[in-house]
Amino acid sequence: MLLNPSAYDYSVENVELRETHISWVFLSGDFAYKVKKPVKFGDILDFSTLDLRKKFCEREIALNSRFSPDIYINTFYIDDMGRINGSGTIIEYGVKMKRLPEEYLLVNLLKEKKVTLESVSRIAEIIATFHANTTKVPEYGDLKFIGEKWDENFRTTATFRSIDESFREKVTCFLRGNRGLFQERINANRITDNHGDFQSRNIFVLPNHEVLIFDCIEFSSLLRYGDVAEDVGFLAMDLDFLDAREFSRHFVDMYVKFSGDDLILENISFFKSYRAYVRGKVYGFQASMEVDDGKKAELIAMSEKYYTLAYQYSENW
């Protein structure tokens, strides 16, 4: 679609493509053009129509401007001649973004052993400040809502693999046995409109030490609204998964310092488990649709690693 340099309204030598299970990202010169795939995943994500994709492109810019407004430029459309903002019939919409060097993504810096405790502290400070100032949504701290998020995990997982019933029972017991804790979280204003996808691949740490957070969840309030521990737990889990446990512990410690949220330590392992299970579900769902046997095996292996990590966290409940 946008791999042809003639699609752009400026001189382009080459275009690179990055692909996820829900989008294509075309890298062209100083810009990145993100196009949502026409997919629908259960009750969580629906990009199945052109109107829905347009709506979520607009929402993606609005929500991510809370973190890094300079990255997100505007929406664009593609016409039936394959041109960006052309004069033909509109066939697709997308989001235009500033392109940044991928080498400065936190996930890549971790691979190169270029992450410092100072950088992790800065990330913790930024997300703690964001949580303090973002919209509070106390109704989404209710046990019924949290239980529904887990139920969605189990429902979707059951479409491609068996459910570990002993783990499901652990989740149920934690929810029932910690009603007071969840109410304390609500009373302390710790239920907010979060990032929702706060992991190392969505964080830039630039050479000047500037931290840029991007790609928050725009397609589901179910995944974005909740305890701040969901955001904190997501990155902490991600760092654990990437064998960066020192940074994981430091991140949580610094978050507590900057937020004053000591109580988060009471439920952080629960939400780390939740986020690991979500990742296992995502990779497992992708594997269920993959036709290439080699790629399918890789996706299943990744899925199982995340499920195993989710189970390990539950040992601390």
Mean pLDDT over each residue of the chain, to the nearest integer: 96
Residues 92 and 164 in one domain: no
Residues 190 and 256 in one domain: yes
CA distance 268 to 181: 12
Q: How many Cβ atoms sit within 10 Å of the Cβ of residue 305?
A: 15
Residues 248 and 229 in one domain: yes
pLDDT bucket at 90, cuts 50 / 70 / 90:
very high
Residues 249 and 128 in one domain: yes
pLDDT given for residue 289 in this prediction: 87
**Residue range of the domain that includes 282:** 106-314
Residues 54 and 125 in one domain: no
Could you tell me the pTM of the whole model?
A: 0.94
Residues 289 and 224 in one domain: yes
Looking at 68, 99, 130, the residue that finishes a domain is: 99
Residues 89 and 116 in one domain: no
pLDDT at 67 over 90: yes
pLDDT given for residue 316 in this prediction: 84
CB 76 within 8 A of CB 69: no
pLDDT at 40 over 80: yes
pLDDT at 113 over 90: yes
Looking at 99, 114, 134, the residue that finishes a domain is: 99
3-state secondary structure of 262: helix
Per the structure, the count of domains in the chain is 2
pLDDT given for residue 271 in this prediction: 98
pLDDT at 231 over 80: yes
CA distance 256 to 193: 19
pLDDT given for residue 42 in this prediction: 74
Residues 184 and 47 in one domain: no
Q: How far are the Cα atoms of 252, 306, 309 from residue 110, in angstroms, in the given order?
A: 17, 19, 19
Looking at 36, 70, 99, the residue that finishes a domain is: 99
pLDDT at 232 over 80: yes
Residues 297 and 254 in one domain: yes
